[in-house]
Structure 1
Amino acid sequence: MKFAHFNFNVLDLEKSLDFYDKALGLKPVREKNASDGSFKLVYLGDGKTNFQLELTWLRDRTEKYNLGECEFHLALVADNYEEVYKKHKEMGIVIFENESIGIYFIVDPDGYWIEILPEKR
């Protein structure tokens, strides 16, 4: 067994693609489109690992997704942590910081939390 991908359902696919590109440098690596146009899956990659984030867009979905208490998150390691942190602060997307352990979280357009970790020192 090995990891393949993780999924986030998104309301506005173009807004999400723009966010993941600008905030995290994640780029589309493949996609699937329903023959009837009812859904689109876009898989994002970091260009360094095989792990992918699947963004699922449903044509008929108009309401924000209920993420509950958001007791889950995706985590990424930044090899240029201080630079990325500054960028995320300027973008206004940092929602929680834990300075004592040296991590922080950002939020995407749909409310998903993403943890940013420094490279192990």
Structure 2
Amino acid sequence: MKFTFYHNNINVRDLEKSLDFYNKALGLTATHEKEAEDGSFRLVFLGDGTTPHLLELTWLRDMDRPYELGDNESHLAFRVDDFGKALAHHREMGCVCFENAEMGIYFIEDPDGYWIEICPCKE
């Protein structure tokens, strides 16, 4: 038996705002989606066009409060081929929430408060 990664999921309050953020910040685009017949939820799967791994955004119609993210120690991480350009882009977007120059990484924050680690591609 062999397991392979398929996707990660996060719940979002404003699906359109999140779709816009993930496209502008990370270049992710929708690969497919599913909507409940009764409109109670909508799932949109995002891909990077390079790897098979997907990010599933889940919107729940009846969610009436921000999601409780706890200590936010769980996070997604992305590698980028032009770290300086990415950092400048994210600073311009105003979404950089933490920088660790010593480790050579930084984090951006999405509209729901999830942190995403940005790492340089290293050989």
Answer whether TM exceeds 0.5 for this pair: yes
In the alignment, structure 1 residue 108 sits paired with structure 2 residue 110: yes
Which of 60, 76, 99 is residue 58 of structure 1 equivalent to? 60
Q: 5+ residue gaps in structure 2?
A: none
- Structure 2: how far apart are the matches of 1:40 and 1:80? 33
Give the Å deviation of 1:101.
Answer: 1.2
Q: Cα offset for 1:76?
A: 0.3
5+ long unaligned stretches in structure 1: none
Say how many residue pairs are matched.
121
Q: CA RMSD in A?
A: 0.6
> 2:67 corresponds to which letter in structure 1?
Y
The DSSP-based 3-state class of the residue aligned with 2:122 is coil
The question of 1:69 aligning with 2:53 is answered no
Q: Give the letter for the 1:106 counterpart.
A: I
Report whether the alignment pairs 1:9 with 2:17: no
Deviations 1:72-121 (A, max 9, x none): 10000001111110000111111111101100000000000000000104
Q: Match for 1:12: what amino acid?
A: D
**1:44 alignment partner in structure 2:** 46
- Mapped to 2, the partners of 1:81 and 1:72 lie a distance apart of 22
Identity %: 60
CA distance in 2, matches of 1:108, 1:101: 22
Runs of 4+ that moved beyond 3 A: none
CA deviation map 1:18-52 (0-9, x unaligned): 00000110000010110111000000000000000
The residue aligned with 1:89 is 91
Residue type at the aligned position of 1:27: T
